[in-house]
Structure 1
Amino acid sequence: MKPLLKNDINTFLKRFGNFVDAELHSIEIVSPTALRVTLNMQDSARAFDWVTLVLEFSGVSDAKVPENSKLPHIDMSDGITLLFVENTFTFALGVYNAPLAVANSICYIKAASLKYEEISF
């Protein structure tokens, strides 16, 4: 797993097209303060081939996570929001401009650190 640095967030989002029309595969609770999110999406760095990406959130301070059985029915046409504010990564499904607004999302995670791993689709 590679750490995602706050300065690399915009490049990361651009590479994966802001996760627009991605497939949310699973959300795994690793521990009370760690979550793993697995998504499938197109990667502009690989000629838009599909890849699987695992996001691992550590030091989770707040989260709202739907059951895995509901994930295939979630509309990902708006992509995701990924922010770094006040030493906290904020991930949410949908488009939000402020960390407080993500509470309106059907799924959000606030964590101290974020790592990712690319896997062949």
Structure 2
Amino acid sequence: MKPLLKTELPNFLKRFGNFIDGEIRSIDIISPTIIKVTMAAQDSARGFDWLSINLEFSNIIDAKLIENSKLSLLDTSEGLALFFQDDCFAFSISNYTNLENVKNSLFYIISSNIKYEEDLF
């Protein structure tokens, strides 16, 4: 897995079209401080082919998770929020831009580190 730096976030989101109409496939709790999220998205760097993206959040600060059986009910038509604020990364459904709004979401993860890897669709 490669670290995702705060300076890389805009290009990362642009590459995957802000994950609009993507799919969150699974949420795995690796340990009390590590959560892995697997998603499917279109990659503009590969001619908009679909691929899987694994995001690993470590040093979890706060999280509100849902069961894997309910992931298909999440609406990603507005994309996903992924930004850096107050020395932490925030990840959520929809296009929130601040931590206060993220914490009102149905699903979110706030951590101090994030890594990613690309995988086959």
TM bucket normalised to smaller: over 0.9
Q: Report how many residues are paired.
A: 121
Aligned match of 1:7: 7
Post-superposition shift, 1:75?
1.2
Aligned match of 1:69: 69
In 2, the alpha carbon distance for the partners of 1:23 and 1:91 equals 14
Deviations 1:64-84 (A, max 9, x none): 000000001211101111111
Stretches of structure 2 lacking an aligned partner (at least 5 in a row): none
Aligned match of 1:113: 113
Aligned match of 1:58: 58
Compute the TM-score of the two structures, normalised by the length of structure 2: 0.98
Alignment partner of 2:72: what SS?
helix
Aligned match of 2:104: 104
Q: Over the residues paired in the alignment, what is the CA RMSD in angstroms?
A: 0.6
Alignment partner of 2:95: what SS?
coil
Say whether the 8 Å CA contact 1:83–1:99 is kept in structure 2.
no
Deviations 1:10-64 (A, max 9, x none): 0000000000000110000010111000000100000000000000000001000
Post-superposition shift, 1:85?
1.1
In 2, the alpha carbon distance for the partners of 1:113 and 1:80 equals 17
Q: Spell out structure 1 runs of 4+ moving beyond 4 A.
A: none
Alignment partner of 1:83: what SS?
strand
In 1, the alpha carbon distance for the partners of 2:28 and 2:87 equals 23
Aligned match of 2:93: 93
Taking only the aligned residue pairs, the percentage that are identical comes to 51
